[in-house]
Structure 1
Amino acid sequence: MQRETGRIAILEDDPIMGESLCQRLSLEGHRVEWWTKGEDALRGLSGGMEAFDLVLCDIRLPDMNGEDVFRRSCREASTPFLFMSGYGDIDQAVRLMRSGAVDYITKPFEMSALLDRISSSLRSRPSDGNEGVLGISPAMRGVEMMLRRYAVHPLPVLIQGETGTGKEVSARFLHQVSARPSSPFIAVNCAAIPSELLESELFGHDKGAFTGAHQLHRGYAERASDGILFLDEIGDMPLHLQAKMLRLMEDGRFHRLGSEVQIPFKARIVCATHHDIGSDGSTFRNDLYFRLSALPVTLPPLRDRPEDILWLAQRFLEQIVEQRDTPVRGISALAEDAMLEHGWPGNARELRNRLERAAALSENVLLMPADLFPDAKPSAVGPPVSTLADARDAAERRQIIRALSATDGQISQAARQLGVSRTTLWEKMTRFGIEGGGRSEN
């Protein structure tokens, strides 16, 4: 297998382990630097002329904790850290991943497993022109990078966000970039299945287990095999089933209704909810929440990432045009303005639904505002503009977002398209509250 190579720093105080890692990584084509103390690593990370692509860091060091090195180095640079942790440090390693560490591996480990982790971490490096899969806004690029880091671990993932923000899409992306993308992805909507049937659907039942059980039924947990069991709207799961889910995660096995035969549970659990199930006022079990949220992800609403609106609209429309007979081939500038001014309370799902309806009913080649917002008065689509200065600012903001969408968030390309310098564009983006896009070329 062809592996990525890069400039790697090793922070390991054990001389035998450190020398072994240096030799093997050098043979793999990496450029390696080795430190045995945290202070040496901090000097090397802050004073080097060439940035490191990855830091392979032990958590326990003679002069300081690996976590201290990570947090102090993050103040000056954003070098990815891959932690090597003993069994007793796993909770700390998971906490570090939540704080931005790219990965961790538990000692003792096979060298081949470490090389795979290193290669995966290097492949997830952002690069110029790297088009986002989930979105082009910095927030969604961050979500995508986090999911790539999570993909190599078997721990549960909890995806939280408003309805329609793309939680299942994110879960499927996690499955796609995992080591077993061809394994089953079983999605269960806990809010759509009646509570009295959900247990049978999750765990299955034997023939004769209850009235109407005429044959053996394999549940979602069994059908997920070694893939992903995706529990959507986990916050709506009944309390008695929450207890059984906790038992499933603790024991790693279950039995069908009407049977005492234990079945191993091999799937990874990924959950999603629009509820704040970790809050003090939630009725969701705290012990189950803590187990499910080992690796958390929060999806921001569409209104907080306007760069993604036109980017998503274009991709949705391309899919719609492929699937149905419609004269629509694009979106007019007026319709784009209306979309950028809309609040999108239903997020990406509302955006797709409006495009679906517009493509089905419109007779225009280019969609117009009335096609997307048929019930809205022209003046009610966006906020009122009171002065010419407000109108100019609103137009500039829309044009900047348009350019960022067209260039997949690349600042330099967007600046060239708009005919301004990068500095001018950055200043205007800051003024209008538009977040920075992906990396741009210098």
Structure 2
Amino acid sequence: MLCAPKRKNKRQIAYLGVKMNETGVGADVFFVLVGAILVFAMHGGFAFLEVGTVRQKNQVNALVKILVDFALSTVAYFFVGYAVAYGTTFLVNAATLSGGGEGFELQGLSLVKFFFLTTFAAAIPAIISGGIAERMKFWPQCLATVALVGIVYPLFEGLVWNGNFGFQGWLEATFGAPFHDFAGSVVVHAVGGWIALGAVLLLGARMGRYDRNGRPIGIPPSSLPWLAMGSWMLCVGWFGFNVMTAASLESISGLVAINSLMAMVGGILVALVVGRNDPGFVHNGALAGLVAVCAGSDVMHPIGSLIVGGVAGGVFVIGFEICQNKLKIDDVLGVWPLHGICGAWGGIAAGFFGLEALGGLGGVSPVSQVIGTVLGAVYALGAGLAVYGILKATMGLRLSQEDEHRGADLSIHKISANPEHDLGR
């Protein structure tokens, strides 16, 4: 015989409601934490992409820069940057931080969100690192990282993602929608790429990069397998970068995942053709597509994302060749065309391919996208010239000719990538 279920009293119902709420918060904590770990792993991708591109005498420096920049970024963002962007300080007791005190969510959800956003902030110096490789002094770059992650990046981040200074409200009231940058085509990538352009211009080209007549002298990648591994690590982590920007299980969207995938393959295929089978272009083409799709990955149709990513792959190849050969800008990894230009393309493209008329979900304004993107690029270039200009005037930016010739590994870190081989053992 079946027994009728017992009715729960109000206390039991309230208790179950609390437990279900805690379970939901705990799931979100785990979800965001996994995203933070995936994006943290992308910094290994930044490192190995640079290791495979620079000459062997600068490989150790590439690895050390990315790791130290991440550590400095975390400290600068924890004590200053996060408060600049979101008005929240962590200078309260641990019970408030983890237990849902004023301004903080239960079970430390706010803390893992900080971790997640820190990995974004630390991408700024990681992007710049590839442009200034092989001739930048170590300590000035460390100071630049602190200034950029503590002040420069959070100001723009807060403007877009927290509605600071009324900018987003003005765009929405004037043009019908705020500036839409779901996962940072402009906030992270374009800002990092345009800051890098300022730094590269102030540094000048590497010794031997151009002859007396200004003709480029090729410097091939030191290791295509390392370069490829860096690209693969970045591609895998990017799905945490984009998908987990949702910040909760309730808000997660498979559309973001498939759009990221389609943009990535679009970038690969177009870079393959336009780059004439060059493996460096192919592996960076994947990244170009992913950079471009970040802004509109939550509102575009997969076919639109394929087009946006494909255009980005072609833009990177052509932009890299113009940058290096026509403009004589020695941007070692091509971070300006990859992150700066492709990021700007993604920001603008979201305003068109996100429209319902082109199969998107709507809620975007082409005019707002252009304004937000241009503002981001101009702000970042100005900030890059200012920060690195001050450092150049006070500390100097470049290694000496002797140190640059010897290589950053021995000049800065006193050890090479293959010390046993150097000793002839």
* TM-score bin, normalised by smaller chain: under 0.3
Higher strand share: 1
Q: Which has the higher contact order (CA 8 A, sep 6+)?
A: 2
Higher helix share: 2
* Rg (Cα) greater in structure: 1
**TM score, norm. by length of structure 1:** 0.23
